[in-house]
Amino acid sequence: MTGSRDVTSESDASTDVSESAETSKSTDTSDTSESTDTSESADVSELTAVAFVGRKTARLLVDDGIDASDIDDKRVSYTDLVDAGVNPGVAARIRRAHSLSWSFTSDGADLERRSAQVRGLGDAERAWVAASSGDWEASERAAGNHPGDDADTPELGSVWEVLSRPTALSTLPDIDADLVARFHEGGIRSVRRLATVDAVTVADALALDEETVRRWRATARRHRD
């Protein structure tokens, strides 16, 4: 009888030890999980304090290892934000608000994207821009002027009246050569083109001050005719 009670007692003690170990393990796991959640929550909260960063964007950035200091210290670019899954429109706003670089690489793709964002040119304007760059052969193809055509025909005369050589940006008074080069990056190569741009889009695409673009657009409008 006494032996039976001893066995039962030992069994109960063993069960207590096992339950205690499981409880301790469960508590440790819970503590680790809560610690991780708290850390992630803190990172998300810090990011949502950054202009134009919402909770969804913040979670994407945290998952990609980007924190608020990376944006504040300009260690990330627009391309990095998009690669992390951020909506391109939101990424553009964050880039502009914090003066981030478009990209830390210069493989030509950045220039193509900027030019596309400024807006594509129509067929006639492409030929017109080609003419301003000295590519008269391309302009002739756009106008349908093949070898052997009579350049004095009324039809071709009308085409060349429309596609006449545009006025270069460098003719605008006091415009800086660096600014002309920047406009060229976005496909803006003539006074007529500059006179019709959307200032907000161009400023964002070419990383220029919006007021500067508006001022030169107004100047272009005064000199386009």
- 200 within some domain: yes
Taking alpha carbons only, the member of 159, 218, 160, 224 closest to residue 192 is 224
The answer to whether the predicted template modeling score (pTM) of the entire model surpasses 0.75 is no
Same domain, 94 and 193: no
Same domain, 149 and 51: no
Q: Which helix (H) or strand (E) holds 66?
A: none
**Is residue 55 predicted with pLDDT exceeding 70?**
yes
Phi, psi (deg, nearest 5) at residue 192: -65, -40
Cα–Cα distance, 59 to 43 (Å, whole number): 9
Same domain, 198 and 121: yes
pLDDT of residue 206: 82
pLDDT of residue 126: 47
Cα–Cα distance, 145 to 159 (Å, whole number): 10
End residue of a domain, out of 98, 123, 146: 98
Same domain, 87 and 163: no
Q: pLDDT confidence of 47, banded at 50, 70, 90?
A: very high
**How many domains does one find in the chain?**
2
End residue of a domain, out of 40, 65, 98: 98
Which tens digit of pLDDT belongs to each residue from 128-176? 444 444 444 444 454 444 444 444 444 544 444 444 567 889 999 999 9
**Is residue 16 predicted with pLDDT exceeding 60?**
no
Cα–Cα distance, 149 to 177 (Å, whole number): 39
- Bridge partners (DSSP) of residue 190 are 168
Percent of the chain with pLDDT over 90: 24
Alpha helix segments (H runs only) across the chain: 2-48, 55-63, 68-72, 78-83, 88-98, 109-118, 123-132, 136-143, 154-162, 177-185, 191-194, 199-206, 210-223
What's the CA angle centered on 143, arms 139 and 147, to 5 degrees?
85
Domain membership of residue 193 as a residue range: 113-223
Same domain, 189 and 212: yes
Same domain, 194 and 136: yes
- 10 within some domain: no
- 4 within some domain: no
pLDDT of residue 201: 84
pLDDT of residue 72: 92
Per the prediction, the chain carries an average pLDDT of: 71
- 69 within some domain: yes
